[in-house]
Amino acid sequence: MADVEERAQILIEALPYIQQFAGSTIVVKHGGSAMVDHELRRAVARDIVMMHFVGIRPVVVHGGGPRISAMMERLGIQPEFVRGLRVTTEQTMEVAQMVLVGSINKEIVSLINAEGGQAVGLSGKDANLIRTRKMESEADLGYVGEVESIDAGVLETLAASGYIAVVSPVGAGPKGESFNINADHAAAELAVAVGAAKLINLTDVPGILADPDDEESLISTLTLDEAQGLLGGEDIGEGMIPKLESAIRAVEGGVPRAHIIDGRIPHASLIEVFTDRGIGTMISADPSTDG
Ligand SMILES: Nc1ncnc2c1ncn2[C@@H]1O[C@H](COP(=O)(O)OP(=O)(O)OP(=O)(O)O)[C@@H](O)[C@H]1O
Ligand SMILES: [Mg+2]
């Protein structure tokens, strides 16, 4: 087949997926660990712009774990984690906000804009998008917040006007204090609040691994029950715990499918949304249905 015909064929193969998802929201969580190089970040930005121009409403939520840790170390503060969550002192909170809202958010916004999108960066504080309260847990995690409520009005307004929202996982507490929210948890609550068709979590592993030391041990589909069963087990380590919780929360909250995929693969989210190739781990109430 001539080269141009092949290209047309590839484009037309995306048609059923474009028809399925046009008009719906897809929440993409871009993990800090998957932001390994500029070309990869640019590919993610292009995927987002592509989704936007075929009529999908993408909402980006980003993490920034490694960048926050690097900045803390530069300032002589030792990062500490409990069950994948960063212990957040007042000083750490200041650093986290600076890196997430000041640096990473604006970098993603600029990349999307450079690809022809119109991105607007927000933190959870803006227009009360994410009201936050202190997360209570056995260990005192300091300013680690959990989502109290979402007011998705600003996301609706932005999407309706053709803007792409990029959200930093920082929220305000009842007294206006800042809280650091795990980006996976924030993405799930946002996906539920906007009634997303999918939650895609881009990370730095192929998906959920049955054995975290073996990249070949990918679990490709999980039902809610199976996902909950895994959560307590010792094979789900730090980092993957909030992701699994996030996927469970999203699906329980009515998001049909949550995906944890390898953000190191260029255009991973395009492959996920627009082809019949299932990549990574898909969590759904009923995984027998495809897509
Ligand atoms: N069973 C498992 N399967 C896959 N990965 C696992 C598992 N258990 C633990 N992990 C770890 O989870 C990590 C991903 O979580 P991590 O929080 O580091 O990245 P991220 O959430 O994508 O980035 P950020 O926190 O900056 O948003 C993997 O790099 C891996 O080391
Ligand atoms: Mg993480």
With a CB cutoff of 8 Å and minimum separation 6, the contacts of 189 are 130, 147, 150, 249, 253
Confidence of residue 286 (pLDDT cuts 50, 70, 90): confident
Q: Could you read off the pLDDT of 50-71 as tens digits, one per residue?
A: 999 999 999 999 999 899 999 9
CA 84 – ligand 1 centroid, Å: 8
Cβ of residue 68 lying under 6 Å from some atom of ligand 1:
no
Establish how many alpha carbons lie within 13 A of residue 200's alpha carbon, considering only the half-sphere containing its beta carbon: 30
Q: Is the pLDDT of residue 271 over 60?
A: yes
Residue whose C-alpha is closest to residue 158's, from 90, 109, 107: 109
* Range 103-107 average pLDDT: 97
Cβ of residue 263 lying under 6 Å from some atom of ligand 1:
no
Q: Is the pLDDT of residue 289 over 60?
A: no
Domain ranges of the chain: 3-284
* Range 254-281 average pLDDT: 95
- Tell me which of 27, 28, 33, 61 to substitute to probe ligand 1's pocket, judged by most ligand atoms within 8 Å of the beta carbon: 33
Q: Could you read off the pLDDT of 126-156 as tens digits, one per residue?
A: 999 999 999 998 889 999 999 999 999 999 9
Cβ of residue 206 lying under 6 Å from some atom of ligand 1:
no
Cross-strand partners of 179: 171
* Range 115-131 average pLDDT: 98
- Of 27-36, 43-52, 134-143, 282-291, give the range with the top mean pLDDT: 43-52
CATH assignment of 3-284, among 3.40.1160.10, 1.25.10.10, 3.30.70.1150, 3.90.1150.10: 3.40.1160.10
166-199 as b/e: b if 16+ CB within 10 A:
bbbbbbbbeeeebbbbbbbbbbbbbbbbbebbbb
**Whole-number average pLDDT of the chain:** 94
pTM attached to this predicted model: 0.95
Q: Could you read off the pLDDT of 167-189 as tens digits, one per residue?
A: 999 999 999 999 999 999 999 99
Residue whose CA is at the smallest distance from ligand 1 atom 18: 239
